[in-house]
Amino acid sequence: MIACGPLSNRKQDLIITGGANIYPVEVEEVFYTHPAIALAAFIGIPDSIKGELAAAYIVLKEGAVATEKELIDFVRSRIAKYKAPRIVEFVNSLPQGPTGKM
């Protein structure tokens, strides 16, 4: 699989949640196929029970509308359900360097 998002060379390449391995780039690739998404960042956030929870930070395209449930369901319909984010947060921007990497 070839990474198509701006996070293809990230510091954290693996999220471990409840013993399951999730590769953020794989999930981001799914997000980038959704017509409303301009930018997506998929990260693990600390959780005392599961180790990490999968969270997505999403920038929508101008004028686009999407809901947290819609995006979680979108991911679940395309890859294994356990890889879908537990949390989706909509943000206005994500930090990017001069080359477009976050």
**Rg (alpha carbons) of the chain, rounded to whole number:** 13
For residue range 26-57, what is the model confidence (pLDDT) as tens digits?
999 999 999 999 999 999 999 999 999 999 99
* Nearest CA-CA partner of 94 in 15, 13, 21, 10: 10
Q: Which CATH number does 21-90 carry?
A: 3.30.300.30
Q: What are phi and psi of 63, to 5 degrees?
A: 85, -5
For residue range 65-92, what is the model confidence (pLDDT) as tens digits?
999 999 999 999 999 999 999 999 999 9
Spatial contact of 79 and 45, defined as CB atoms under 8 Å apart: no
pLDDT band at 5 (very low <50, low <70, confident <90, very high): very low
